Structure formats: C-alpha cells, structure tokens
A and B are shown apart, each in its own frame.
Chain A
C-alpha cells in the first residue's frame, strides 16, 4: 500500500491552524470496522512519537489541538493552533497489512 502525503513542507504562523493530507492506494478499513491509519510526529533529533491511531484516536498525552479524520483512502491531520513544540516531521502510516508503509513525511516549521 502506497502512502502519499501532501504538502511535503508546511510553513505556518504560530497560533494559526495547519492541515496535512495523507492518501492511501487502497482502503485502510479493517474488517473490524476500524481504520488502520496512524499519525506520528518526529521532532528534530528525536524518535517518532505517536499522535493519532485508528484514524482519529488521540494517543495518551497528546494535546486536543491535534485531530485526525478521514476514511477509506483519504485522511487528514489537523492542528487547530500550532505551537512551538509542534515543529518537526509528520508521518502517516498504514497498519492494515504488511509491509507496513509510511508516507514520505511532511516537514512543519514556522514562517
């Protein structure tokens, strides 16, 4: 399954919203009814950190300014108000089948 993110780079003003799109080459709907789409943030020099799983579930400790939405093959990560700690590279990942695949990454920084 090929994962395609857009844009690949995003410059935002602190406090403004941001949105990242992720598209999969086939539906990520599991026969359980869940969508096997995950979002990660990798801050500079750090390991990836889980943000969103099953398409729209925020991981423990993730601020509510992060939200995931979408279904089938089209997904979106939204940040309602970008803060300094949100700078980094965002990856989507499909966990429906092996090989598990990631999007190319979207680099978010400040204008």
Chain B
C-alpha cells in the first residue's frame, strides 16, 4: 500500500527555520513528482511547491519563493521542505502528496497525515 509520512513540524519563532520530511513507502518514488500543500487553521488548502521526479524542476507559490526550498532524495525515498525566514502566516498543517501524471499534473493521489508548523513568539 502506498503511504506518505510527514515529520519535522513544531513550534518556531518568527524568522526561524524548520525542515520538514516526507517518507514514502509502497511505491517507487523515482516514478512520481511530489508536492507540498498546506492548510492554515480553519482555512482551505494552499499549494506550496512541486518537484519533478528527478528533482530537475521545482515550482513554488509566490508567498514562499526565496524562503522555502523543496528537495528530494530518491535513494532515501524522501521529500523535504526547508523553510527559512518563517512568518506567522506560515502557520499551518503541511501535507506532502504524490503527483499523478508523467508530463502533466493530473491529481494529487496519495496524501500524508500532515505535520503541524506553528510560527509564534
């Protein structure tokens, strides 16, 4: 069974950094692009970043561009989100998800359980 498990969330002060991890099991990670999506408390879903199967291309929502970096280690079956210069508005549950589709994004078909990031002094 394909599964994703996020970790690395926690409480951090404004301006601080955090690195989220997402471990994959039950499928070959090299075949799939991956994504991070977040959900602020009581709010809807917001796409954060994508990374291609081989890590050659990365895309970000404007609000995190230059502060967040998505990366992956296919040998370790993991995807990461390095978050720097964190702001209160980055407070959210962060989900990683698998992207269905080879040359296009057809869906996010497998989601992790999420990890909570709280940015507060």
Interface residues of A (CB under 8 A from B): 30, 32, 34, 36, 38, 40, 42, 47-50, 53-54, 59, 89, 91, 93, 95, 98-105
Contacts and interface: CB of A to CB of B under 8 A. Distances in A.
Contacts of B59: 98-99
14 contacts: A36-B104, A47-B114, A48-B45, A48-B111, A53-B100, A54-B106, A93-B45, A95-B101, A95-B107, A99-B47, A99-B59, A102-B45, A104-B44, A105-B45
A100 B45 CA distance: 11
Given A48-B95, A53-B107, A102 B44 contact: yes
Interface of B: 35, 37, 44-47, 50, 59, 61-62, 95, 100-101, 104-109, 111-114
Given A40-B45, A48-B37, A95-B107, 13 more contacts: A36-B104, A36-B106, A38-B107, A38-B108, A40-B108, A47-B111, A47-B114, A48-B45, A93-B108, A95-B104, A95-B105, A95-B106, A102-B46
Contacts of B101: 95
Nearest to A31: B104
A103 B46 CA distance: 10
Given A38-B108, A50-B107, A99 B62 contact: yes
Give chain B's interface secondary structure class. Answer: strand
